Structure 1
Amino acid sequence: MEDLKNVSFSPLPDTTYVRPFRFNYTQNGQSKSWDLLEVHDSVAIIIFNVERKKLVFVKQFRPAVYFNSLEPEDRDVDVVDTDKYPAALGVTLELCAGIVDKDKPLVEIAREEVLEECGYHVKLSDLELVNSYRSGVGVQGSKQTLYYCEVNDDMKQSAGGGVDDEIIDLVEMSISQVEKMLFSPSAESIRSPPSCLYGLMWFLHTKAPKYRK
């Protein structure tokens, strides 16, 4: 995952994943415009192994996080110095998640992501709907739907790690480790999206108390 080389930037070609465009409108009589990105909606899943009392996360390299870790003067270069900027700067800790790019119910897509990324075979009835919210409200505003499921070791059918060219590692953390990550200020920022942090706060408030007994 952290064997990173040949980092460079180029103009965005046509793609099915991101469509940049300008939104023009009039608000309170004033003409305005805003640059936006059209992206897919997504699902995310809080996974808790009740047998070992561990939350299950995915760890992966995120180019956007890496890019925003570069100093401004090092973004306009032919090739990024990966000795100065190692891949670890872009490695994030996230909930299991995936985009909605299939004509299927959201809960079915969530079930597939749990199997593909984390290797657990869960039933649709195992997935509890938590909430839906908007992501990246400044430029995209896409909807993410959050689920919760409890698993055990018998439900593990594969190593997970994603499909095709995905490179995903699984990470397990105890409730106390998650609390330490969330509530212990550090000079180094948490490399997790707000949706993950919201999901963890929800878990600590609604589910964790019975597992602390």
Structure 2
Amino acid sequence: MIKFFRGGLRRVCCSDAKRSALGRLSNITRIWFSPLPAKSKWIQPCTVHYMENDQQKETHIVKVLDGVLVLLYNKSRDKLIFVRQFRASVYQALMNYHQPTATGDVDLQKFPPELGFTLELCAGQVDKDKSLEDIAREEILEECGYDVPVDSMQTIYQYRSGVGVSSGAQALFYCEVCDEQRVSSGGGVDREVIQVVEMSLDEAKKLVETGNRTNGGPALLVGVMWFLLNKAPKST
């Protein structure tokens, strides 16, 4: 896999990609940018005006949906379970270091799609009138292929992300699964293309070593550190 740093591109071994035997394979052959449509289903930008200490201020924000995230642990094989997928926002951010975003096609030789692949926790948006635990259970089934009971969800944290520009509420859960609960290879639904990645505890520890780099969000690091602190000694 190719990782992108401010100084340029360099090729490194990406063992998590090699282990992604389950789920759907991604083959990206074209990437291009265009302006945001007048009305988006997923985000709603606006300006907020307010008075603070007798001064009028304004800030531009983006309204987003809340989310659920699940740290999965397969107790049958002593493995943590993550997902790998292409994230256009990550791709754009890394590409933007060297070339400001513009409309039109991207040179995929110069900026390969691998730049935008992330390692994440199983997650989804709160876009249904259901409990957070029910939504988390559905995401586990859709993305990773495990059919688990709702009461197997253990709340780790509830917090807000992106508080500078957006402020979506996030619920982070922990769930233990076993091989008998796997009913499909996962991979997402509809147009999602998600790969399932399993890691040993030793491999997961490397994710949270000081100075490490990852394309995943902070919930991945927080979830792994929470597991190593609270669950790992009991699991081995």
Which category describes the TM-score, using the shorter chain as reference length?
over 0.9
Distance in 2, Cα, partners of 1:54 & 1:36:
39
Q: Does 1:177 align with 2:203?
A: yes
Aligned to 1:54: 79
Q: Does 1:37 align with 2:62?
A: yes
**Per-residue Cα deviation, 1:159-207 (whole angstroms, up to 9, x for no partner):** 1000000000000011110111210535xx3111011211111111111
Aligned to 1:193: 217
Aligned to 2:51: 26
Matches within 5 A, 1:36-185: 36-70=61-95, 71-183=97-209, 185=211
Q: Does 1:207 align with 2:228?
A: no
Judge which range, 193-202 or 159-168, deviates more. Answer: 193-202
**Per-residue Cα deviation, 1:62-117 (whole angstroms, up to 9, x for no partner):** 00000001135342252211111111100000000000000011100011010000
* Residue 4 of structure 1: how far off its partner (Å): 3.2
Runs of 4+ in structure 1 over 4 Å off: none
Letter in 2 for 1:67: Q
Judge which range, 7-16 or 106-115, deviates more. Answer: 7-16
**Per-residue Cα deviation, 1:30-74 (whole angstroms, up to 9, x for no partner):** 111111011110100010000111000010000000000113534
Contact 2:133 2:153 in 1 (8 A): yes
TM-score by length of 1: 0.94
RMSD between aligned residues:
1.3
5+ long unaligned stretches in structure 1: none
Distance in 1, Cα, partners of 2:40 & 2:103:
24
Q: Does 1:8 align with 2:33?
A: yes
TM-score by length of 2: 0.85
Distance in 2, Cα, partners of 1:43 & 1:115:
14
Number of matched pairs: 210
Distance in 2, Cα, partners of 1:129 & 1:150:
12
Distance in 1, Cα, partners of 2:216 & 2:60:
25
Contact 2:32 2:103 in 1 (8 A): no
Distance in 1, Cα, partners of 2:202 & 2:27:
27
Letter in 2 for 1:130: I
